[in-house]
Amino acid sequence: MVLCQGGEGDAAPAAGGQEPEVLPGREDGPGAVQPCLCPAPGVEAAGTEERRTCGYCSGMSWPCCCEALGTRKKAACPGLGLFYTVLSAFLFSVASLFLKKIEDVHSVEVSAFRCVFQMAFVLPGLIYYKTGFLGPKGKRVFLFFRGFLGSTAMVLLYYAYQVMPLADATVITFTSPVFTSLLAWIFLKEKYSLWDLLFTLFAITGVILIARPPFLFGSRVTGIEGSYTDHLKGTIAAIASTLSAASTIVILRKVGKSVHYFLSIWYYAVIGLIGCVIALFVLNEWRLPHCGRDRVFLILIGLLGLGGQIFLTKALQIEKAGPVSIMKTMDVVFAFILQVLFLNHLPTWWTVGGALCVVASSSGTAIRKWRHSVRRAKQGEI
Band of pLDDT at residue 129, cut at 50, 70 and 90: confident
What's the first-to-final CA gap in the chain, in angstroms?
Answer: 32
CA distance 135 to 258: 10
CA distance 67 to 73: 9
Nearest to 165 by CA among 113, 243, 80, 231: 231
Sign of CA dihedral 252, 258, 262, 263: negative
Query: Residue ranges of the domains in the chain?
Result: 80-379
Q: Count Cβ atoms below 10 Å from residue 106 Cβ, excluding itself.
A: 21
CA distance 37 to 41: 12
Sign of CA dihedral 170, 115, 243, 187: negative
Residue 339 burial (C-beta neighbours within 10 Å; 0-12, 13-18, 19+): buried
- pLDDT, tens only, 295-332: 888 888 888 888 887 788 778 767 776 677 777 878 88
The residues near 122 (Cβ < 8 Å, ≥ 6 apart) are: 262, 265, 266, 269
Continuous segment of H or E residues that includes residue 362: helix 349-381
Q: Which residue has the higher pLDDT, 17 or 275?
A: 275
CA distance 111 to 158: 7
Determine the pLDDT at residue 94. 92
- pLDDT, tens only, 163-195: 888 888 888 988 887 888 888 888 878 788 888
Band of pLDDT at residue 43, cut at 50, 70 and 90: very low
Q: Which residue has the higher pLDDT, 252 or 83?
A: 83
Nearest to 297 by CA among 101, 20, 17, 144: 101
- pLDDT, tens only, 54-90: 444 444 444 444 444 444 445 456 678 788 888 988 9
Determine the pLDDT at residue 25. 40
pLDDT of residue 48 exceeding 70, the answer is: no
Mean pLDDT (the chain) is: 75
**Cα separation values, 286 from 101, 148, 203, 277, Å:** 18, 20, 36, 8
Determine the pLDDT at residue 67. 44
Determine the pLDDT at residue 64. 47
Q: What is the percent of the chain where pLDDT is above 90?
A: 5
Q: Count Cβ atoms below 10 Å from residue 230 Cβ, excluding itself.
A: 14
pLDDT of residue 122 exceeding 70, the answer is: yes
Query: DSSP state, 79?
Result: T
pLDDT of residue 37 exceeding 80, the answer is: no
Determine the pLDDT at residue 90. 93
- pLDDT, tens only, 320-377: 766 777 778 788 889 888 888 888 888 888 888 888 888 888 888 878 777 777 777 7
Q: Which residue has the higher pLDDT, 160 or 254?
A: 160
With the CA atoms of 25, 31, 32 and 34 taken in that order, what torsion angle do they form, in degrees rounded to the nearest 10? 10
**Cα separation values, 347 from 33, 215, 298, 339, Å:** 59, 21, 26, 8
Mean of pLDDT values over 247-253: 81
